[in-house]
A and B are shown apart, each in its own frame.
Chain A
Amino acid sequence: MHVVFEFGFFTSAPVRTALIIGAVTALVSAVVGVFVVVRSQSFAGHALTDVATTGGSAAFFFGWSPLLGFIGGGVIGAGAMDVIGVERERRRDLATGIVLGTALGLAALFLYLDTTKGATTGATQQLLFGSIFTVDPSTVPLVLGLSALALAIVALINRPLLLSSMSAELTRARGINVRGVGVLFMIAMAVSVGLSSIAVGSILSTALLIGPAAASVRVTKSLRASLMVAGVLGVATTWLGILFAYDSFYWVPSSQGLPVSFFIVSLIFIAYLMSGLPFVRRRVDRPRANLAATSTASADALEAAS
């Protein structure tokens, strides 16, 4: 037993906090992520994480909670993307890239100021690559509250969200405010990204957002199943990652151990690759690699849900 669970794993307070925060943020990310993948917004999701980086590093500099900084950055980024997203596809990628670049550049500045200003070392590492073992336990209630908020938003808008990903026209014709739904979803995404930035860092939170969701969508047929599988995958990879990271403290000669985020991201990546294997895929009749297919599945999901 001690080979797998090194000394002190279950009794260590930081580990317990990490497990709770990790599980909750992974769950939220997975749920939100399924919708992101179904709506083919993976690039936007990734862009949000970079803007969240700016928010987090700025907040750190001003002495505010990085969590709120991440979320704030995400919300502002979501707003900016909403404005840009109206234009046609081509300019969107370029404009998004420029906005991303500026956001990251600002993050660079804040991180530099972080390291020179205070005695704090490792700001870059913590903010970008995660600090789940050093999270202040008092933030747990905040994390839980925000998670509940994000999940509530998604639960509220899940049907119009799916419908609008198939056809915005159709959704509008039903009297649903497509723009409003989009904005609400962006907020949910920003909160989710902010939360997972605490766990695995802002640069890597894309993995928690998209990974379990993308893997799950490939092997499930209905929305409910996708959500469950994604959630399970997210939490499992996070917990395993925390375990390995804790253990690696003992494996590796240097004092640090490998970052938790590395393990979590690797596990998610492996899970995703495995979801593409033939024997896994054979369980599904229809491949879900493109939006058309996911739209049909969404239609099925809608039928199943109503």
Chain B
Amino acid sequence: MFSGFMVNAWEVGTMVAVVGGVVGFFVVLRDSAFPAHAIPNGAFAGAAGANLLAINPLIGLGVFSFGAALGIGALSRRGRSDAVTALALVMMLALGAAFLSLSTQYEPQIFSLLFGEILGVSSSEILPVVALGAVCVVAVAVLYRPLLLTSIAPDIAAARGLRPQHFEFAFLIVIACATTMTVPVVGALLIFTLMLGPAAAAQCFTDRAGRAMAGSVAIALVTIWLALACAYESNWPVGFYVSVFSATAYGIGRGYAAWHTRRQIRATRQSRIIAPTN
């Protein structure tokens, strides 16, 4: 499992997990589950189109991801209509299906684009993928503090000259970047779980932002590694394992949080401190 072509998978998978964890931290913080779901669906059409034109799928993924991100950003400025975003999302999927039907390899292509493929990234693509991943991580590092403030307290941020709309756009672009490099391995329909589960779980174990981010990456790494190993052994789709393990991580995190709160409540009751009700 660790030799030959699988080395690719481990390298790319690790990068995917790091990006998924880092970007996912803010996806959960900003409650951006819907864009995280919608942008990859747009990417699907791009990959299908690239396949049809026989060009590098990363280009198709990139162009359509960015387009979807800009589209969602523009739509949310005018007050987001769920209907319009859902329709645009579905339109992209239909377009992707149409592109694929025009090429000769309909079925297997659909499947791996939607649900992932261990060897989704070929050797020649490793460098661009890693580069894209690095760009994502660096972008988040650069935007870290302003993004934190605009995510938690947008009014205060605005008063300081940090325009929340600008940061929303910037973050959608980051999601687009992350989408481009993660979709080939995990699949367009399922990549968003990697940006939700680990980050949401990490939040349950720590109160501190930095640690939550680190935890998000750690859990994402475990998720991907386990998923790759299981997919290798069983031949079942990678995306399936990623989604299930992400959900499991989320469940464990929430379970821990619930247990922890109950323990805290019991402790406060026992110590009988009458805190000032402020």
Direct contact of A and B (CB under 8 A): yes
Question: Which residues of A pack against B, CB within 8 Å?
Answer: 37, 40, 42-43, 45-46, 90, 93-94, 96-102, 104-106, 108-109, 111-112, 115, 121-122, 124-125, 128-129, 201, 203-204, 206-207, 210-211, 214, 252, 254, 256-259, 261-262, 265-266, 268-269, 272, 289-290
Check A93 against B98 for contact (C-beta < 8 Å).
no
Check A269 against B246 for contact (C-beta < 8 Å).
no
B34 contacts across to A, CB distance below 8 A: 43, 93, 97
A102-B193, A259-B101 known, 9 other contacts, Cβ within 8 Å: A93-B34, A94-B200, A97-B37, A98-B196, A101-B246, A105-B242, A105-B247, A112-B240, A125-B106
Question: Which residues of B pack against A, CB within 8 Å?
Answer: 28, 31, 33-34, 36-37, 79, 81-84, 86-91, 93-95, 97-98, 101-102, 104, 106-107, 110-111, 114-116, 187, 189-190, 192-193, 196-197, 200, 235-237, 239-244, 246-247, 250
Q: Point out the residue from A105, A124, A268 that lies within 8 Å of B240, measured CB to CB.
A: A105
Check B239 against A108 for contact (C-beta < 8 Å).
yes
The 3 closest A-B pairs by CB, nearest first: A105-B243, A101-B193, A42-B82
Complex Cα spacing A172 to B11, Å: 57
Q: Point out the residue from A93, A124, A258 that lies within 8 Å of B110, measured CB to CB.
A: A124
Check A105 against B91 for contact (C-beta < 8 Å).
no
Given known pairs A111-B111, A290-B79, the reply for A252 and B237 (CB within 8 Å) is no
How far is the CB of A159 from the nearest CB of chain B, in Å? 23
Check A204 against B111 for contact (C-beta < 8 Å).
no
Check A128 against B110 for contact (C-beta < 8 Å).
yes
Complex Cα spacing A130 to B116, Å: 21
Complex Cα spacing A283 to B241, Å: 51
Check A102 against B94 for contact (C-beta < 8 Å).
no
Check B247 against A101 for contact (C-beta < 8 Å).
yes
Given known pairs A94-B31, A98-B250, A256-B101, the reply for A272 and B87 (CB within 8 Å) is yes
How far is the CB of A249 from the nearest CB of chain B, in Å? 11
Q: Point out the residue from A105, A206, A252 that lies within 8 Å of B239, measured CB to CB.
A: A105
Check B102 against A254 for contact (C-beta < 8 Å).
yes
Complex Cα spacing A123 to B197, Å: 29
Check A43 against B247 for contact (C-beta < 8 Å).
no
Given known pairs A43-B34, A265-B91, the reply for A258 and B246 (CB within 8 Å) is no
B88 contacts across to A, CB distance below 8 A: 269
A94 contacts across to B, CB distance below 8 A: 28, 31, 33, 196, 200
Check A204 against B190 for contact (C-beta < 8 Å).
no
Check B90 against A204 for contact (C-beta < 8 Å).
yes
How far is the CB of A165 from the nearest CB of chain B, in Å? 14
How far is the CB of A293 from the nearest CB of chain B, in Å? 12
B187 contacts across to A, CB distance below 8 A: 108
Check B93 against A101 for contact (C-beta < 8 Å).
no
Given known pairs A94-B196, A125-B106, the reply for A108 and B87 (CB within 8 Å) is no
Complex Cα spacing A40 to B85, Å: 13
Given known pairs A43-B86, A98-B247, the reply for A105 and B193 (CB within 8 Å) is yes
Complex Cα spacing A257 to B189, Å: 25
Check A125 against B107 for contact (C-beta < 8 Å).
yes
B36 contacts across to A, CB distance below 8 A: 97
Complex Cα spacing A111 to B31, Å: 30
How far is the CB of A50 from the nearest CB of chain B, in Å? 8
Complex Cα spacing A97 to B192, Å: 8
How far is the CB of A63 from the nearest CB of chain B, in Å? 20
A201 contacts across to B, CB distance below 8 A: 97
A206 contacts across to B, CB distance below 8 A: 86-87, 89-90
Given known pairs A97-B192, A112-B237, the reply for A258 and B107 (CB within 8 Å) is no
Check A265 against B90 for contact (C-beta < 8 Å).
yes
Check B86 against A262 for contact (C-beta < 8 Å).
no
Complex Cα spacing A256 to B247, Å: 38
B89 contacts across to A, CB distance below 8 A: 46, 206
Q: Name which residue of chain A comes closest to B110, CB basis.
A: A124
Q: Point out the residue from B83, B87, B95, B237 that lies within 8 Å of A109, measured CB to CB.
A: B237
Check B101 against A109 for contact (C-beta < 8 Å).
no
How far is the CB of A132 from the nearest CB of chain B, in Å? 13
How far is the CB of B216 from the nearest CB of chain A, in Å? 13
Complex Cα spacing A204 to B92, Å: 10
Complex Cα spacing A268 to B196, Å: 31
